[in-house]
Amino acid sequence: MRYRSQSVAYWYFAVAMVLFGLQLVFGLLSAAKYLGPDPLLYILPFDVTKVIHTNLLIVWVLTGFMGATYWMVPDESRTELYSVRLAYVQLVLWTLMGVTAVVGYLFRYGTGNKLLEQPLPHKIVIVICMLLFLYNIGTTIWKSKRFTTTEGVLMLGLGLAAVLYLPALLEYENYTVAIFYRWWTIHLWVEGVWEMIQGGFLAYLLIRLSGADREVMEKWLYVIVGLVFIAGILGTAHHYYWVGVPAYWLPIGGIFSALEPLALVGMAIYAYSAMRRSGMSHPNTLALHWTLGSAVFTLFGAGLLGLAHTFPDVNKWTHGTLITAMHGHAAFYGAYAMITLAMISFALPAMTPGRSEQGSSIGYWSFWLQIGGMFGMTLSFATAGIAQVYLERILGMGYLDAQLKIQVHFVMLVITGSIFTIGVGLFIYDFFRHAPRFEVDDGQKPGLRPVVTPAPA
Ligand code: HEM
Ligand code: HEM
Ligand SMILES: [Fe+2]
């Protein structure tokens, strides 16, 4: 650790780990309900377990993003954080918001707007936390007078993520209007500004891990971010096919969203070629697995599986089915869970002495069990979704009758989900098994590093 204040990242990561574990409990519960009979039907019905599952996902991933930013910005700007105290105040407020939101959902206290179910008071706390966070990070960078492109892309992504949350504060009576604006937050988050956040972390990790040339890496980062924007903004229209808006959105959505995977192909090539050309200058190969894994899994889950149902002619059959869940899992996991786990794996050895820099065998087991489990879950949702579309939408079978026919795929989901959960359990165990100790390693500070002169030939 180069700067003492980077230690706040550890506590953000710790909270993220706990919430990640809890998210999976509610995922498995939601999956088990498809198999019935459901002894918890009147206490914890499916809609409650699902809303808790997806909200915990958003909260833990954002907690991870914040922790990773508190780690990365001092490193990039070569300075201590502006205010450690503010970062802790923000973490406490944020965690309280998350926990009370989940408790509220148990008592049906929520707005019912998918993924944005947080009640208004919670939404206001979210905005306050984001403002505290951006102020702290912004002042740190401003005072340091050192602002890298990588950091710029990350900051732009985080700032715009906060701005795009604002439409979610409003409620609309009209369902079409509500749905129309809901995507300004959800779509423009996951297929726009969060990809900038992922891009910022990816560039940081690749520069550190592979020793790739910063100038080259940052130039390509611009290109990728540009591509995301060109396609992603109008690509929002791939959610406007059947929501009661004019038909001209159909070709716009089809064409622009079909261009979105281009940026993701670019990102995967970017990561792979940085490794090929520059090799490994850093011993942390576990973090490298997560970094490259994130770029590749995003291409699969978001690029390929997103493209699979983005054209209006396909989407009219698959909209709102388990095909959506197939893509939602693989994309969210690859892009945002994996990049967060990459940042954690990279930062952790410096904050928990006693851990090997290369990562332990538990760490690699965790990686492969998660990859295998998530791949299996994606296939389970895919096979269930294809059968569902055929039975329900082509043959016209009733929803519940079709669900009975596809139960076998949910057995597979529970099995593969359990494999995935073991992988996550190992990650969490590996995270907590070494106690944190925050020692500043001055030798690594630029300028203080001993100059090594090559030995005469
Ligand atoms: C990392 C990037 C991405 C993430 C995390 C992501 C995640 C999701 C999630 C969670 C949903 C369900 C949303 C809801 O119903 O509330 C969804 C829907 C959808 N996504 Fe993505 N996605 C990503 C990228 C893409 C890309 C690149 C494409 C197209 C090429 C795409 C195409 C779609 C389509 C067409 C739907 C609507 C499905 C329906 O009609 O039910 N996604 N995505
Ligand atoms: C043990 C592992 C998991 C299991 C068993 C599981 C199961 C489920 C189930 C059954 C649903 C409801 C699908 C429906 O509406 O019919 C769901 C929704 C969802 N889960 Fe998971 N999940 C798991 C882990 C994850 C992870 C790791 C992520 C992301 C990184 C994730 C993201 C989502 C999203 C975005 C939705 C909403 C999808 C949509 O509405 O189409 N889940 N999950
Ligand atoms: Fe989208």
Where is 257: in which H helix or E strand?
Answer: helix 249-278
Residue 450 scores a pLDDT above 80: no
Tell me the mean pLDDT in the region 295-322: 98
Report the pLDDT value the prediction gives residue 235, as an integer from 0 to 100. Answer: 97
For residue 331, count CB atoms less than 10 angstroms from its CB and return exposed for 0-12, middle for 13-18, buried for 19 or more: buried
Report the pLDDT value the prediction gives residue 277, as an integer from 0 to 100. Answer: 86
| Residue 49 CB less than 6 A away from ligand 2 | no
Q: Alpha-carbon distance 381 to 388, whole Å?
A: 10
Q: Alpha-carbon distance 256 to 371, whole Å?
A: 30
Most confident range (mean pLDDT) of 33-42, 127-136, 167-176 is: 127-136
Q: Alpha-carbon distance 453 to 123, whole Å?
A: 56
CB 222 within 8 A of CB 186: no
pLDDT in tens, 109-147: 998 889 999 999 999 999 999 999 999 999 999 999 999
Per-residue confidence at 457, pLDDT binned at 50, 70, 90? very low
Residue 454 scores a pLDDT above 70: no
CB 52 within 8 A of CB 100: no
Amino acid at 178: A
Atom number of ligand 2 nearest to Cα 333: 30
pLDDT in tens, 187-202: 999 999 999 999 999 9
Amino acid at 152: G
**What residues contact 150, with CB distance under 8 A and at least 6 apart?**
76, 200, 203, 204, 207, 214, 217, 218, 221
Chain-wide mean pLDDT for the chain?
94
Indicate if the alpha-carbon torsion angle 184, 189, 190, 196 is positive or negative: positive
Calculate the CA dihedral of residues 301, 303, 305, 307 and round it to 10 degrees: 160
Report the pLDDT value the prediction gives residue 294, as an integer from 0 to 100. Answer: 98
| Residue 5 CB less than 6 A away from ligand 1 | no
Distance (Å) from CA 132 to ligand 2 centroid: 30
Report the pLDDT value the prediction gives residue 456, as an integer from 0 to 100. Answer: 45
Report the pLDDT value the prediction gives residue 444, as an integer from 0 to 100. Answer: 54
Q: Alpha-carbon distance 128 to 17, whole Å?
A: 23
Residue 349 scores a pLDDT above 80: yes
Residue 452 scores a pLDDT above 90: no
pLDDT in tens, 73-109: 999 999 999 999 999 999 999 999 999 999 999 999 9
Report the pLDDT value the prediction gives residue 443, as an integer from 0 to 100. Answer: 58
- Ligand nearest the Cα of residue 421 is 2
pLDDT in tens, 230-287: 899 999 999 999 899 999 999 999 999 999 999 999 999 999 999 888 888 889 999 9
Residue 449 scores a pLDDT above 50: no
Give the whole-number percent of the chain exceeding pLDDT 90.
89
Question: What pTM was computed for the model?
Answer: 0.96
- Ligand nearest the Cα of residue 35 is 2
Distance (Å) from CA 388 to ligand 2 centroid: 17
Atom number of ligand 2 nearest to Cα 336: 30
